[in-house]
Structure 1
Amino acid sequence: MPSFNVSIVQARGSSFQIGLKTGENVCNTPILKIFESVTKEEIDLYSMKSIYSTFAPHLLEELEGLAQGLGISPDRAAALFSGYDVPKTEEMGCSTLLTNEYYVRNYDFSPALYDGIFSLIQADETFATAGYNLQVLGRHDGVNEKGLVAGLHFVSHDGYGKGVSPWTAIRMVLDRYSNVDEAVAMLKEIPHSACYNFSLGDRKGNMAEVEASSEKVIVRYGDSALSCVNHFQDDRLKSKNRDSIEGSVQRNEHLLRLVDKSLTHHDMFRHFKSVESPIFFTDYESLFGTLHTFSYSYQHSRILTTIARSSQILDINLKDWVKGEDIREECLSGFIVEG
């Protein structure tokens, strides 16, 4: 039973300082070799900087810090970590359920293509955030100090082109916006590289699924609950779904049935992380195994998160962390069991 570990990074200061610390943390880790093999040697730096200067200028500073922390050039750091003009990635799966009270999500993929980092960062220029890293700079999912929570869901490569990766888009959303409406407005403006869903919720109980392609962005809003998986549900975008979406449809139906059970945040979190759950998967060799469960309670500012088959649960009061109370945990340990 192979062990599976996620390191926990806590950083405060300027965006440059956070990039520097992150770079020092990932230096000489195996994931860097993977990024070198799947990213381009060079990207269109002018276009990238133009977009990031508009929507997230602090990320350019963080990239400078990453470059220094890793001892590489800023241009090379941008190609490796900016999340702009990234070659096609493998398909991934994710299941999210939002209610007026909480957000709960599973991320499904392969541990071979996983950063293995959970970050809590408080940059001088942005909101404090907590979430799982993807391509170092980006995020699979996470929440910010204003109670805005977000996650990505792969749909298809239809219309694939040069643009902002969904994991960098998540980072932009969490760093700079305080509610669903603001996040939706930004996701309508940036150029998207592929077809992805974005699940969004905020502390007022607002929720939305942004169905984004390189050509069109459609928004579905929820009232008391909303599910988000790996296919477009709006009729105007259904033609962009993959040929086989049966698994995604089945997961969506299961999530909608859960709504009627009126489960608490803790109970829903336990259901998502359970290896017996219909939304916990073990097909890691086919890039569809559950790697982490992430959740957030709006009322209590409480993060509950864990990784596959771990006996550890991170239980974080985000308000306390923002006030300066670091958590003691430095890593999460679990196991990967192929089903």
Structure 2
Amino acid sequence: MSSFKVSIFQIRGNSFQIGLKTAEKVRNTPILKTFESIIKQEIDLHNMKSIYTTFAPHLLEELEGLAQGLGISPGRAAALFSGYDVPKTEAMGCSALLTSEYYVRNYDFSPALYDGIFSLVQADKVFATAGYNLQILGRHDGVNEKGLVVGLHFVSHDGYAKGVSPWAAIRMVLDQCSTVDEAVAMLKKIPHSACYNFSLGDRKGNMAEVEANSENVLVRYGESTLACVNHFQDDRLTSKNRESIAGSIQRNKHLWGIMDKRLSHHDMFHHFKNVDSPIFFTDYGNLFGTLHTFSYSYQHSRILTTIARSSQVLDINFRDWVGGEDIRDGALSGSIQEG
């Protein structure tokens, strides 16, 4: 068993300042060395800037802050953190369950390729957000001040193309969209790089799964409940699934089964984080171990989140944080035990 830690960042200011302050916090961390070893030295900076100018110009300012704070060129910062034209990443797993009252999900992958950061960010031009960082700028999952929640779910690399990573797309959506409908509209326009599902819920009780690839974007809507895992379910896209999706199908069945129990937000969160749960995994060596559990209650503006085998649970009234009340926690500590 090895120790496992996630740092908690709380940053307020303009987008450039957020990039600068983030850089100060991540300087000399192991994850930067990991990015250096796997990310391309250069990307098509002109095309990346064109896309970001269209969908999220404020993130260009944040990239400038990251570049200055780390003492690197803007072009290198864009290659390392923008989420544009990133190399293929091996399969990752994620299970999400949505109801009209809450959103809850597990993120499953390897700690070797994990930022280990949970950020609460309040910028001046966009919505305040809270979520787990991916490639520093992007997010695995998160919620914004309007009560919109989003998470990513890897499907396959079929038709892989230069484009925006799903974690960068999530950041764009959280920063600027208020509802599921607005998020769906943006996700239909963003040029996606690979096959991913996006699970979406908002405070009005709307929920959807966006099934996206580099060629097409389709949407499945839920009424009172919805499950989202790691395969496309729309018949028009099932040919793009990986050959082996038995595990994803099994998780989907489990999620639909527990919906009948009508568990509260608190109880569903604890079901997801429980190491004995059918949706908690420990195959970290094969890039399929549970790293964090994230959830949000729309009515109470309440985030419940934790990491693998941690005795700590972050219980955050996000409305209060947006109002200026910082949380006291600076980190989450857990452990990784290979199954």
Quick check: TM above 0.5? yes
Correspondence 1:118-157 to 2 at 5 A: 118-157=118-157
Relative to the length of structure 1, the TM-score reads: 1.00
Give the 3-state SS of the residue equivalent to 1:133 in structure 2: strand
| Unpaired runs of at least 5, structure 1 | none
Alpha-carbon distance in structure 1 between the residues aligned to 2:293 and 2:69: 30
Alpha-carbon deviation of 1:242? 0.1
| Unpaired runs of at least 5, structure 2 | none
Alpha-carbon distance in structure 1 between the residues aligned to 2:319 and 2:90: 36
Alpha-carbon deviation of 1:69? 1.0
Query: 1:270 — aligned with what?
Result: 270
Alpha-carbon deviation of 1:37? 1.2
Aligned partner letter, 1:302: R
Alpha-carbon distance in structure 2 between the residues aligned to 1:226 and 1:60: 34
Query: 2:17 — aligned with what?
Result: 17
1:263-310 deviation digits (Å, cap 9, x = unpaired)? 000000000000000000000000000000000000000000000000
Aligned partner letter, 2:203: R
1:207-229 deviation digits (Å, cap 9, x = unpaired)? 00000011111100000000000
Do residues 5 (structure 1) and 28 (structure 2) align? no
Alpha-carbon distance in structure 2 between the residues aligned to 1:252 and 1:70: 42
Query: 2:179 — aligned with what?
Result: 179
1:216-263 deviation digits (Å, cap 9, x = unpaired)? 111000000000000000000000000000000000000000110000
Do residues 230 (structure 1) and 233 (structure 2) align? no
Alpha-carbon distance in structure 2 between the residues aligned to 1:282 and 1:173: 31
Cα RMSD of the aligned pairs, angstroms, is 0.4
Alpha-carbon distance in structure 2 between the residues aligned to 1:219 and 1:255: 19
Identity %: 82
Do residues 309 (structure 1) and 309 (structure 2) align? yes
Give the 3-state SS of the residue equivalent to 2:75 in structure 1: helix
Relative to the length of structure 2, the TM-score reads: 1.00
Alpha-carbon distance in structure 2 between the residues aligned to 1:293 and 1:104: 7
1:22-61 deviation digits (Å, cap 9, x = unpaired)? 0111100000111111111000111111110111000000
Give the 3-state SS of the residue equivalent to 2:196 in structure 1: strand
Alpha-carbon distance in structure 1 between the residues aligned to 2:313 and 2:271: 14
1:168-206 deviation digits (Å, cap 9, x = unpaired)? 000000000000000000000011000000000000000
Alpha-carbon distance in structure 1 between the residues aligned to 2:296 and 2:76: 35
Aligned partner letter, 2:244: S
Alpha-carbon distance in structure 1 between the residues aligned to 2:116 and 2:98: 25
Query: 2:68 — aligned with what?
Result: 68
Give the 3-state SS of the residue equivalent to 1:155 in structure 2: strand
Aligned partner letter, 1:275: V
Alpha-carbon distance in structure 2 between the residues aligned to 1:300 and 1:212: 31
Give the 3-state SS of the residue equivalent to 2:69 in structure 1: helix
Alpha-carbon distance in structure 1 between the residues aligned to 2:227 and 2:37: 34
Give the 3-state SS of the residue equivalent to 1:269 in structure 2: helix
Query: 1:189 — aligned with what?
Result: 189
Alpha-carbon distance in structure 2 between the residues aligned to 1:21 and 1:332: 20
Alpha-carbon distance in structure 1 between the residues aligned to 2:238 and 2:309: 35
Query: 1:295 — aligned with what?
Result: 295
Query: 1:78 — aligned with what?
Result: 78
Do residues 38 (structure 1) and 48 (structure 2) align? no
Alpha-carbon distance in structure 2 between the residues aligned to 1:101 and 1:69: 40
Alpha-carbon deviation of 1:109? 0.2
Alpha-carbon deviation of 1:90? 1.3
Aligned partner letter, 1:208: A
Alpha-carbon distance in structure 2 between the residues aligned to 1:322 and 1:216: 36
Alpha-carbon distance in structure 2 between the residues aligned to 1:190 and 1:119: 24
Shift >3 Å, 4+ stretches: none
Alpha-carbon distance in structure 1 between the residues aligned to 2:272 and 2:225: 16
Query: 1:258 — aligned with what?
Result: 258
Alpha-carbon distance in structure 1 between the residues aligned to 2:37 and 2:225: 40
Query: 2:244 — aligned with what?
Result: 244
Aligned partner letter, 2:71: G
Alpha-carbon distance in structure 2 between the residues aligned to 1:151 and 1:119: 15
Say how many residue pairs are matched: 339
